[in-house]
Amino acid sequence: SWSLTVPLCRLPPAGVPPSGVSLSAQPPGGQAVLGDRVVLSCTVAMGTGPLSFSWHRGDSGTSLGTGPRLELRHVGDNDSGHYQCRVSDGDNVAESVPLNVTVL
């Protein structure tokens, strides 16, 4: 007779890197009237956590926020521009396509 030994120490499944990062805006299209509020939402199609978010405008390296939502209150002319969400799991970084916010 023979016996099959199953090893007890199993490696944890490899994490799935973040991908499919998309942005949506409220109001739709990112067009807002001076003084209005704009809310940008960042969603991730795939990725095992913990995920961290950062928001950037244009080529600025400065992070505007660290959550899945970015709220711009009382927007002014200087808030116009291309906004991007970056998602990281610590090893990999995925970026959204830039979304243009226009203040009318």
Backbone angles phi, psi at 52, to 5 degrees: -115, 145
The pTM score is: 0.83
Other C-beta atoms closer than 10 Å to the C-beta of 54 total 20
Right CATH number for 19-103 from 3.30.360.10, 3.40.50.10140, 2.60.40.10, 3.40.47.10? 2.60.40.10
pLDDT, position 81: 96
With a pLDDT cut of 70, the percent of the chain lying above it is 87
pLDDT, position 2: 67
Q: Which residues does residue 43 pair with via DSSP β-bridges, in sequence order?
A: 22
User: Average pLDDT for residues 40-49, to the nearest whole number?
Assistant: 94
Residue spans of the domains in the chain: they are 19-103
Q: Which residues does residue 46 pair with via DSSP β-bridges, in sequence order?
A: 19
- Torsion angle in degrees (nearest 10) through CA of 20, 25, 29, 32: -160
pLDDT, position 47: 93
Contacts for 59 with CB less than 8 Å, ≥ 6 apart: none
Res. 6 pLDDT band, cuts 50 70 90: low
